[in-house]
Amino acid sequence: MCDCEVFMAAFLSNMSAALPAALWAGRVLLLLAAVWVLLRCGLSLFGQREEPEVWGFISLSNGARYDLTHWENMIGRMRSADVRVNFPSVSRCHAALCRNDQGQWTVYPVNHSSGVLLNGERKLESAPVKAGDCIAVGGVELYFFPSTETDEAKVARRRAREQERRRLSPVGTLLTLNLFQVLLFLQVFFTAQPENRLSVALTFGALAALAWGLYGLYRAAQRTAYELETLVFLLISIGAAVTAAYDPDSLLKLVCTVVIGMVLFLLMSGVLRSLHMSIRARWPVAVAAGVLLAFNVVLGERIFGAKNWISIGPLSFQPSELVKIAFVLVGAATLDRLFAKRNLIFTILFSAYCVGCLALMSDFGTALIFFVAFLCIAFLRTGDLPSIAMMVAAAAFGCGIILRFKPYIADRFAAWGHVWDYAQDMGYQQTRTMSAMASGGLFGVGPEAGWLKYVGAANTDLVFGVVGEEFGFLLALCCVAAMVLPIVFTLRCAAVARSSFYTILSCATAAMLVCQMALNVLGAVDLLPLTGVTFPFVSIGGSSMISCWGLMAYLKAADTRQNASFALRAPKLAPEKKAPVPKPKAPSRDGFFADRPDIPVDDIFGKEDRK
């Protein structure tokens, strides 16, 4: 043997001996990169003061002014009213002043017995309003002035300057994400079979290219917020590593579903720009979802006990995942019936139909997710806690019936909390998951040494355990944090969303995603019964990937930061022009106050309500 061959053999031997230590160090760096991405995204999301958009104002006869910061504004005596008029003749919810996405305003008399006076004419039904109109509720005169395009442009400029000053660069966060992807790729590449290394390299290269491509599209459209998308690609990259270690042949499918999901995300964001179009879409969407579920009940394929799959040639998908998008949209799209007494009937019937179909398919985990989303929608639309409690009681009664006729569901509840007593049957998956996570420790054992991936449904229902075993418990917690950050941010933004449609849409989506993630994570470690639902963006599954991208469009619709989302139409930033400031009419004590000159103004409107 020549000296060169001896040198190469010694070099390869030393490399093989040093590889485990290098991969362990790489997993430590992998965790640090993930934490840094989370910190940068968190600081960018929560480090800015939320400045509401102003769409007009109401001027009172005493000179007080209320800015209209939403497209639906409640006028009444209750403390939570957008325009609070603290006088006994005014109902708690007397009227509503609403704007559509074309800038047209309408007043809705919620108190139909007394109605409102619009320029002296009594109105018991909705009526359009324009600048300078006088709206009298309970004898109190309110003067309405909408914002002009110039006013909206000024607010947009001020908000954009404030956010630009506080915003962290998305490029720096993306570069950190790329470092994370490179470290994750190296973990998988050196432990993969030689014939699979090319597909692993192409997959991670494609994910990096897609992340930058979507960011480039955002910049071309003058959109600046990219935190939610960065967190999504972080989760998808971890899911790609799990797929590469478990089923490398599915990597191409993963990339294809990511592309389809991104296209769906952009298309839905475009549709959500039009409030009118979004609401009109509820009927065809509801019909399509109903037909799809009915088809699944009749002709679906049963896998792992649930009849929730449809196979068409070489393609198979779960209709219930796609129906999630329709379910939230149909529940939120009710603004044209917002003030009708029976405005929940259609949503209740549609929700009962969806949950009933899922029960017939034995997909009870997804049925629970739908029910939680329905409760969120019902509460946001009515605020009626007794009715919500009755719905929960009815659902609990239904669960009792299901447990009576579905004994294997009852067995899961029987094993809940002490799965080690059933380690060879009902608790098999959870006991193996907890054992694998314990062996993985804080930084994992690597994709090659992991064994949990060989347990049934590990890379879908138990994926939290697979990530914990292969890459460490801390990185598994980072997956949870990457889902929690956008959800908490969405709930924060929902309070200042333009329309209650976007508020209900985003909050119901957040409730759905939180419930799904909690069922997956806590079910895997026996803190909840195992229900067989996926971890968003991480679990293997094309239907889940596409569905989660669609739901992300709903979360983005609540992001009211200036130029943050495709889903919100930004005002035209035309050159500033000095517009005449409308002056309210002179204060008057006509009508209700004519015979009460002794009532101080502060007693009517409240000192705390005046600006």
Per-residue pLDDT tens over the stretch 59-118: 887 777 888 888 888 888 888 788 888 888 888 888 889 888 888 899 988 877 778 888
pLDDT above 70 covers what percent of the chain? Answer: 81
* Portions of the chain given CATH number 2.60.200.20: 57-146+576-600
Q: According to the model, what pLDDT value does residue 13 have?
A: 53
| Residue 79 CB neighbours (<10 A) | 11
The architecture in CATH of the region 57-146+576-600 reads: Sandwich (2.60)
Instruction: Tell me what the mean pLDDT of segment 500-518 comes to.
Output: 91
| Residue 583 CB neighbours (<10 A) | 10
Tell me the CA end-to-end span of the chain in Å, nearest whole number.
91
Q: According to the model, what pLDDT value does residue 202 have?
A: 94
Does residue 10 register a pLDDT over 70?
A: no
Q: According to the model, what pLDDT value does residue 420 have?
A: 85
Q: Tell me the C-alpha distance between 49 and 45, whole Å.
A: 10
Instruction: Tell me what the mean pLDDT of segment 445-457 comes to.
Output: 85
Instruction: Tell me what the mean pLDDT of segment 4-13 comes to.
Output: 48
DSSP 386-424: HHHHHHHHHHHHHHHHHHHH-HHHHHHHHHTT-GGGGTT
The pTM score is 0.85
Q: Tell me the C-alpha distance between 319 and 262, whole Å.
A: 19
Per-residue pLDDT reduced to its tens digit, 138-195: 888 899 988 877 777 777 777 766 666 666 788 999 999 999 999 999 999 888 888 8
Q: According to the model, what pLDDT value does residue 592 have?
A: 39
Does residue 212 register a pLDDT over 90?
A: yes
Considering only residues 34 and 224, tell me which one the structure prediction assigns the higher pLDDT.
34
Instruction: Tell me what the mean pLDDT of segment 412-439 comes to.
Output: 82
| Residue 404 CB neighbours (<10 A) | 10
Average pLDDT, the chain: 81
Q: According to the model, what pLDDT value does residue 586 have?
A: 45
Instruction: Tell me what the mean pLDDT of segment 586-610 comes to.
Output: 43
- 141, β-bridge pairs: 136
Asked whether 286 and 330 are in contact (CB, 8 A), the reply is yes
Q: According to the model, what pLDDT value does residue 547 have?
A: 93
